C-alpha cells in the first residue's frame, strides 16, 4: 500500500507542477507581474538618472556662461583703463 500512495503523491505533484507552469496559471501571472514591476522600477530609475544628468549639464552650462561673462567684463574693464591711461598721457 505504501508504494501506491507514493506513486499517487508523485503523480499528483507532477500534475500540479505541470498545471502551475502553464501559460494561464497563477504562477505565470505572478511571475509576469513581478517582471513588469521590476521593469517599471528600472524605467523610473533611468528617467531619474537622465533628469539628474540634464540638471548637471544645465548647471555646468550656466557656470560656463557666468564665468565667460565675468572674464569678458574684466577684459573690457582692463581695455578701458588702458585707453584712459593712453589718452591721459597723450593729452
Residues 27, 20 contacting (CB under 8 angstroms): yes
- pTM exceeding the 0.85 threshold for the entire prediction: no
Using pLDDT thresholds of 50, 70 and 90, give the confidence band for residue 14.
confident
pLDDT (mean) for 45-58: 95
91: which DSSP letter?
Answer: -
> Would you put residue 22 in left (φ > 0), alpha (ψ -120 to 50) or beta?
beta
Report whether pLDDT(61) > 80.
Answer: yes
Angstrom distance (rounded) from CA 70 to CA 76: 10
Whether the CB-CB separation of 27 and 33 falls below 8 Å is answered with no
pLDDT band at 13 (very low <50, low <70, confident <90, very high): confident
In the chain, what is the greatest distance between 2 CA atoms, to the nearest angstrom?
126
Looking at the chain, the whole-number percentage of residues with pLDDT higher than 90 is 54
Amino acid at each position: 500500500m505504501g508504494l501506491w500512495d507514493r506513486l499517487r503523491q508523485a503523480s499528483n505533484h507532477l500534475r500540479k507542477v505541470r498545471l502551475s507552469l502553464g501559460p494561464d496559471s497563477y504562477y505565470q501571472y505572478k511571475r509576469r507581474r513581478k517582471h513588469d514591476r521590476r521593469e517599471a522600477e528600472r524605467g523610473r530609475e533611468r528617467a531619474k538618472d537622465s533628469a539628474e544628468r540634464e540638471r548637471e549639464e544645465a548647471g555646468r552650462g550656466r557656470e560656463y556662461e557666468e564665468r565667460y561673462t565675468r572674464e569678458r567684463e574684466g577684459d573690457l574693464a582692463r581695455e578701458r583703463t588702458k585707453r584712459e591711461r593712453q589718452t591721459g598721457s597723450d593729452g
